[in-house]
Amino acid sequence: SSGSKDASSSSSKSNDLISIGFAQVGHESDWRTASTESCRSTFSKENGYDLSFVDCDNKSADQLEAVRNFVEQEVDYIIIDPIVETGWDTVLKEAKDAGIPVLVIDRNIKADESLYTAWVGSDFTAEGESAGAWLKAYLEAKKKTDKVNIVTIAGTNGSSAQIGRTKGFNKYVKANGWNLLDEQDGDFTQDGGQKIMESYLKSYKDIDVVVCQNDNEAFGAIDALKAAGKTYGKDGDIIIISFDATNAGLKDVKEGSINADFECNPLAAPYVEDIIKKIKDGGKPDSQKVYVDEACFACDDTVSSFKTDEGKDITMTVVDDKVL
């Protein structure tokens, strides 16, 4: 199936509501739930919108079809959170020809900038760089200078979140001579994280660091490590790094099972609403690319602040009762 469609939604222009078609990635993670909720509450009827929401169930073909349907329905605006970076040109041209502004959120697309109105999302490469620079500082603080064995549980292959985080983190792998044992696609799900961690544990005896490209994968990896009797996190043998910093993720950071968590901000919708208001008033977005603010969290103050190789100053927030 192509995921769920809101039965209640329609793109009729017979009222004053602004019609929006939103082609969401799917429902693979806690982060995604937060993103969907943010869009639904921002683009509610009470706020003057008629939101047609399509959960694309992580299937690129379904997502292209959803966008095409929005064009046919002549919605006022289209929002896309692209599952993968590539393959967008044709459908974006169709939307452009129909005069429908397209707002891209969260993940990036590789397409000519003239084909969409604006993008609001995360700097995934910077997230990966922050994680790499944190690990470097953490290992130095712990005086761990011998061989560092790392496994990565990657996100959906071809998504800009996976591409950016991998690129950013792997720069540090290379620069510091760390040993990247393996890097497999966990599809940003808890189940994927668990299965891949189980297979890593069978293949590799000596793992020092597990990099999970989102919190749900980290939850799955932790289940696998626990079942195998491994120690991890704050007081354990294996360092766990994650991305997203969802509430559930930060709970694990606070408890010390995740060492460090690099935020991915799911609240793009209010920024998109600002852009829509500007367009409605005859203007255009201040900028074609908007980066949302993101913080970095740790379970303790072993490393409280550091500079990345790219020259960025990072402060780690220790997750305690005040944060959660």
List residues near ligand AHR by CB under 6 A: 28-29, 31-32, 106-107, 161, 188, 214, 243-244, 264
CB 7 to ligand AHR: min, Å: 25
Q: 106 vs 185, which CB is nearer to ligand AHR?
A: 106
Q: What angle do CA 154, 137, 238 make, to 5 degrees?
A: 50
Least Å from the CB of residue 127 to ligand AHR: 9
DSSP notation for 133-185: HHHHHHHHHTT--S--EEEEEE-STT-HHHHHHHHHHHHHHHHHT-EEEEEEE
CB atoms closer than 10 angstroms to residue 34: 17
Comparison of 187 and 273: residue with beta carbon closer to ligand AHR? 187
- Specify the DSSP element, H or E, that contains 210: strand 209-212
By C-beta, is 200 or 219 nearer to ligand AHR? 219
Nearer to ligand AHR, 208 or 244 (CB): 244
Closer residue to ligand AHR (CB): 17 or 39? 39
Q: Please tell me the distance from the alpha carbon of residue 92 to that of residue 102, in angstroms, as a whole number.
A: 8
Q: Please, what is the Cα angle at 249 between 230 and 254, to 5 degrees?
A: 75
Angle, to 10 degrees, between the axis of helix 30-42 and the axis of helix 215-227? 150
Which one, 244 or 273, has the nearer CB to ligand AHR? 244
Q: How far is the CB of 230 from ligand AHR (least distance, A)?
A: 24
- Smallest distance from the beta carbon of 280 to ligand AHR, in angstroms? 27
Are the CB atoms for 184 and 153 separated by under 8 Å?
A: yes
CA pair distance 79, 70, nearest whole angstrom: 10
Residue 232 is classified by DSSP as B
Query: Which residue type sits at 114?
Result: S
Q: Shortest gap between Cβ of 142 and ligand AHR (angstroms)?
A: 27
CB of 84 to ligand AHR, least distance (A): 11
CB of 47 to ligand AHR, least distance (A): 24
The encoded tokens of residue 114 equal 């003239």
Residue nearer to ligand AHR on the CB measure, 107 or 139: 107
* Cβ distance to ligand AHR smaller for residue 158 or 256: 158
Supply φ then ψ for residue 209, to 5 degrees. Answer: -140, 135
Distance CA(160)–CA(59), nearest Å, equals 15
